[in-house]
Structure 1
């Protein structure tokens, strides 16, 4: 099964990189945000640059998850290959695992430019331990957005999936405080942020790379969002399976 999942992942990666703009586009917006907003305004401040880089990493993760899984899954469902693979004796598990693995690969590609820009052009800094903790925090923080993207992709046709991903993307980023420093967002953002998954996710990364204490409310909210989105993604997958293959 693992070998088959890797084969599916390789197929999806090769299919995507044959259209280079699809790869570049996913990394462009977070990297551009770093260059235009973080480097000139917080680049010389070690603490500010470190937290801002962490925020842009989660910004890249959320962008990649919503669009890679949300729009990508919906687009694949409209192609004949995807329904065919789901009728094979091996079942849908290997193809699904391959999709997750390829999504993780492109997520890594989207956040690497942010990390490189923060390393080369700002005073952002952290320890080796902090870097390892940040990797774990990014993985945990990516879960609700991965499930959210899968739910969108399996529940909606491509045009609707693209619109929904675009509509929820900016409110989650701004409302969760990704576009401002810790405790420096507008008051209404600070009020709603702990109840959004973006806030809990970025707090984990802030705590990993710097002196920041996570909020209990944010962590409970992040766990609740993760479970809710996982249930929604499972429902959307079963609904699609039953609607097209029963």
Structure 2
């Protein structure tokens, strides 16, 4: 069996597992929409009345990042940590499938769920929120979103292999919400309003979203910063994976 067919089978398996778990799929699709309805629409309209250019659209883009970040962290971080001790996961590690193939399959699932989680959020933002489709629906916006999926999938994998099993869900929440607020995904659509947190990956990601959607350019500093985060987090995830493998088969 080729690596491609194994990867496709793994994608199908992980995707079905997520869909069969309402505790994962329902909050994934509903929470960003609810938070946006309660806070994002009000704040975006207030900024728009103050004369800020494309404020409502930028607010919606920030919440799109919030949704993608949640899928990546919980699909990898909390889910992977809980799966570490399951008999099924331990059986899968004995199969002739490399960890790289399984990782690629998980990233594909995260990307699929991320795009799916954006659909209700975009529907609400373009209707109730009054966002500009010309800003939000530019195809170029998919590039920073895809890069964000890669970076935060690596972060989630790092958490999944290093966090204690019982504390995986609360600790992931403690990381998810502060990263979202400090990075400007909630309540500060423009990254230049949170310069003091410029080293965070969410801030750099926010700046990249802002640059491609409004300034029509790719911020070099933010892009390089995200690529550095991707390299560091991937290395930490690899070390964590090898640690779990040694503990499982020692």
Q: Same fold (TM over 0.5)?
A: yes
Aligned-residue RMSD, C-alpha: 2.4
**Residue 146 (structure 2) aligns with:** 139
Q: CA deviation at 1:173?
A: 1.2
Provide the secondary structure at the position in 2 that maps to 1:174.
Answer: helix
* Contact 1:26-1:63 within 8 A present in 2 as well: yes
The answer to whether 1:241 aligns with 2:242 is: no
The match for 2:126 is: 119
Question: In 2, Cα distance between the equivalents of 1:226 and 1:38?
Answer: 29
Shift, 1:122, TM fit: 2.7
Q: Partners in 2 of 1:164 and 1:158 — Cα distance?
A: 10
Alpha-carbon deviations, 1:72-126, whole Å to 9, x = none? 1111111111111111123434333322222222222222222221222233224
User: How far apart are 1:224 and its partner, in Å?
Assistant: 2.3
Matches within 5 A, 1:61-210: 61-127=68-134, 131-179=138-186, 180-182=188-190, 185=193, 189-192=194-197, 194-210=198-214
CA-CA distance at 1:43 after TM superposition = 4.1
Once the two structures are TM-superposed, the CA of residue 217 in structure 1 deviates from its matched residue by 4.5
**Correspondence for 1:221:** 225
State the match for 2:34 in structure 1: 32
Contact 2:107–2:150, Cα closer than 8 Å, also in 1: no
- In structure 2, stretches of 5+ residues that fail to align are none
223-232 or 213-222: which moved more? 213-222
Moved more, 37-46 or 197-206: 37-46
- 1:51 and 2:58 correspond: yes
SS at match of 2:94: coil
Say whether the 8 Å CA contact 1:85–1:95 is kept in structure 2: no
Asked whether the 8 Å contact 1:12–1:99 carries over to 2, the reply is: yes
Given that residues 43 and 121 in structure 1 are in contact (C-alpha distance below 8 angstroms), is that contact kept between their aligned partners in structure 2? no
Instruction: Return closer, same or farther for 1:53/1:87 CA change in 2, 3 Å cut-off.
Output: same
**1:9 shift after superposition:** 1.4
**Superposed displacement of residue 129, structure 1:** 10
Distance 1:146 1:12 in 2: 15
CA distance in 2, matches of 1:94, 1:222: 23
- In structure 2, the CA distance between the partners of 1:90 and 1:222, relative to structure 1 (3 Å rule), is closer
Check conservation: 1:141, 1:204, Cα contact below 8 A: no
1:61 to 1:242, Cα distance in 2 relative to 1, 3 A: same
TM superposition shift of 1:181: 3.3
